[in-house]
Amino acid sequence: MTKFIICNWKMNLGNQDSIEFLNQIEMKSLNNDHQFIICPPYTSLGLVANNLKSKESDWHLGAQNCSDQDKGARTGDISAAMLKDLGCNYTILGHSERRQYHQESNESVKGKALKVITHGMIPIICVGETEEDYIQGKTIDVLTEQLSGSVPSNQCIVAYEPVWAIGTGKVPTIKEIETVHQSIDNVMQDLGFLNIPIVYGGSVKPDNINQILSKPTVSGVLIGGASIQPESMNAIIKEVCL
Ligand code: PGA
């Protein structure tokens, strides 16, 4: 089964840095078992799209957010149609940083996901518990609420990203990741959504990626910090592709 390697650049790598970064990445050594998806900031999408095309790369392009509206008086927003037009196949939605800093609700994530699907792209819908939820044993309750509220159909990827694991170097045990992914799959089945890929995100690095990817319930990874340094990105490619 193809595994997704989703690179979330967050608010990093402007135009020049993006190109310098891509020129240092060893895309040639790739095999077909992995689908790489780069999600740069909006401002670098066009340039990254052209760069991938000029290299005849099979890496895909994704955005990090989009509007839940089609067009009109939404200053500063970007629509799903605009992203599709730039060559995006995927859009990350409901990342915990957006839920935290932009008060994004499950309802709004669902609205955005519907627009993404309508425009022929795949939403990557993020869910995850805080450290407090985790300590109190509320992980599954929190995830169930987020999933029921924000996933509109089976045409999506779910990203399990424990908030306490993002950018911290802390990672759940493999057993915990497997158990949570199984629970997410159960919730999806209860909602009538079958065979949804579930990827893991939170402090994925070259030295833990293969162990995480080796589990059948893990359909891929979402990588933040390690995806913006050429050295660690090349190390990741080497780990998973060679
Ligand atoms: P991280 O971020 O890999 O830096 O922990 C992951 C994410 O936020 O998607």
pLDDT tens digits, 201-222 = 999 999 999 999 999 999 999 9
Question: 28 pLDDT band (50/70/90 cuts)?
Answer: low
Residue type, 72: G
- Give the residue numbers spanning the domain of 170: 3-241
104 is catalytic: no
Helix (H) and strand (E) counts in the chain: 10, 8
Please tell me whether the overall predicted TM-score, pTM, comes out greater than 0.95 for this model: yes
Confidence check: pLDDT of 29 > 80: no
> What pLDDT score was predicted for residue 208?
97
In the set 34, 95, 119, 181, the catalytic residue is 95
Q: How far is the CA of 148 from the centre of ligand 1 (A)?
A: 23
Contact 200, 158 (CB under 8 A): no
Instruction: Return the percentage of the chain with pLDDT > 90, whole number.
Output: 94
Atom of ligand 1 nearest to the CA of 222: 9
Residues in a beta bridge with 47: none
HSE toward the beta carbon, residue 122, CA cutoff 13 A: 16
> What pLDDT score was predicted for residue 27?
81
- Segments of the chain assigned E as strands: 3-8, 34-39, 60-63, 90-93, 122-127, 157-160, 198-201, 220-223
Q: Which of 6, 93, 161 to mutate to test the pocket of ligand 1 (most atoms within 8 A of CB)?
A: 161
For the chain, how many structural domains are there in total? 1
Question: 31 pLDDT band (50/70/90 cuts)?
Answer: low
Q: What is the domain-level CATH number for residue 62?
A: 3.20.20.70
Mean pLDDT, the chain, rounded, equals 96
